[in-house]
Structure 1
């Protein structure tokens, strides 16, 4: 099983001296990040969609095999609330297209106040090219229904497994032949790190859920103090194949 482990973003000033050598210019942080991890979740696209030229530059600055997951714009998920999705989805895919083979899954993180709307979700997922993997992270409990699960399965979209305070905050549904996991906040010291027991539990869940040929993407969003860096490194070791692959 290929478990791709990284962090949600890479441009955090307090990572200087943790992931980035002291004095390393911020303009070179992506290259340094890519020497340490094989994937990253681009979460700043949620706030402002980068230009196509920026995506093209990121492709040239990362090595072959590097994967960049893209968090969809809040215009689609929080302003439009999945309504009228065709134009924002088209714009997102046009901007991200220059990533080429570096483009990984697209994440739709829904607002916590958005109640379940299986029809709107289905219409939104239908706008994405079939070749693009889409993960969905609902945050209102009304989404945990058979109808919603059916939409995800039918569209081949992954329910994003989310953790907060070292506990799952989503059902552990397998809705696609690939997976997506996000770690928001652990309970270990120093906060907001995850402890080894919590990480081992998540590694076991992944292994128990997906077959050996599956791909799973896991990102740590607990960035303060470099917690995400330390946890991502630990989780990569826990989920590595026995042969190191």
Structure 2
């Protein structure tokens, strides 16, 4: 049976850092990561979507975390077809994904930025989260093939935001396509009440890794502010619904990553703690006391808009 690693999709989210979950003396960059890594074995690097990762920072991350801790790195926005701000492009290059020279430069910089994690054995996976307009079809298949060629040997996971990929008429084709390229199909938990809802299917498309991302079940998915979309506190019974599927997945892969993306205040870390307890049957370490609930701070422009 593969190892099940539970964590969250950020350890630096503003709502979390301001919630009181990090104790006094552990609220600087190093202290936050060390505190988080003492409680969970995996985390997603959401910041790599918004700005290309830096090799020096990746080196520090590896040094500040214990053996066995891994990072799932989210692919830079330009590499998944999302709008990208010119200000975060390297060397003053235009944010033009159609320009092969630009793409080559961005791929090279992204690869360089995550190399210290890979070299240290700390790269759990690279998440390619595609936008809602990335729909099934010939063009998308060619795009995935190019991604596979550029990431040969990497542990790649793919999350689709267009529901058509996992609807009945496409699901088998989608699974076969990802399996052909050795890519992990990301399963999601989210509200099922919207036309844009992604079905909670969990196919195994790579023997090395399976990933489940819990987005919360807000009915405001796809609309409203980031707080509206991701403000959701999972009940224990809702998490327990997933236990048979998670255990089944872990029996078919080398590792299973269970990541909570309901990153508003302490909701994600609390859900992750509960899931760890449910999976192991043991209590997790006592959590730092949280202050009374208060509204999450407003997101900065462009931040976490795609989570």
TM-score of the pair, normalised by structure 1: 0.87
Query: For each residue in 1:184-215, what CA deviation from the matched residue of structure 2 results, as whole angstroms up to 9, or x when unmatched?
Result: 1146xxx5111112211112112123426631
1:162 to 160, 183, 188: 188
* Superposition RMSD in Å: 2.6
Query: For each residue in 1:69-100, what CA deviation from the matched residue of structure 2 results, as whole angstroms up to 9, or x when unmatched?
Result: 10000011114779966554443222101122
Instruction: Give the Cα–Cα distance (whole angstroms) in 2 for the partners of residues 134 and 40 of structure 1.
Output: 15
1:68 paired residue number: 71
Give the unaligned 5+ runs of structure 2.
84-95, 219-230, 285-307
- Does structure 2 conserve the Cα–Cα contact (< 8 Å) formed by 1:41 and 1:69? yes
2:202 paired residue number: 172
1:21 paired residue number: 23
- Does structure 2 conserve the Cα–Cα contact (< 8 Å) formed by 1:165 and 1:186? yes
For the pair shown, the structure with the greater C-alpha radius of gyration is: 2
1:148 paired residue number: 174
TM-score of the pair, normalised by structure 2: 0.70
Deviating more after overlay: 136-145 vs 105-114: 136-145
Change (3 A) 1:63 1:166: farther
- Structure 1 residue 14: Cα displacement: 3.8
Alignment map for 1:2-151 (pairs within 5 Å): 2-15=3-16, 16=18, 18-22=20-24, 24-27=26-29, 28-77=31-80, 78-79=82-83, 87-99=105-117, 100-116=120-136, 117-130=140-153, 132-144=154-166, 145=170, 146-151=172-177
- Does structure 2 conserve the Cα–Cα contact (< 8 Å) formed by 1:89 and 1:128? no
Give the unaligned 5+ runs of structure 1.
none
Instruction: Give the Cα–Cα distance (whole angstroms) in 1 for the partners of residues 7 and 124 of structure 2.
Output: 12
- Structure 1 residue 235: Cα displacement: 0.8
For this pair of structures, how many residues does the alignment match?
239
Deviating more after overlay: 201-210 vs 12-21: 12-21
Instruction: Give the Cα–Cα distance (whole angstroms) in 1 for the partners of residues 78 and 241 of structure 2.
Output: 35
- Structure 1 residue 42: Cα displacement: 0.3
SS in 1 for 2:72: strand
Instruction: Give the Cα–Cα distance (whole angstroms) in 2 for the partners of residues 184 and 66 of structure 1.
Output: 22
SS in 2 for 1:225: coil
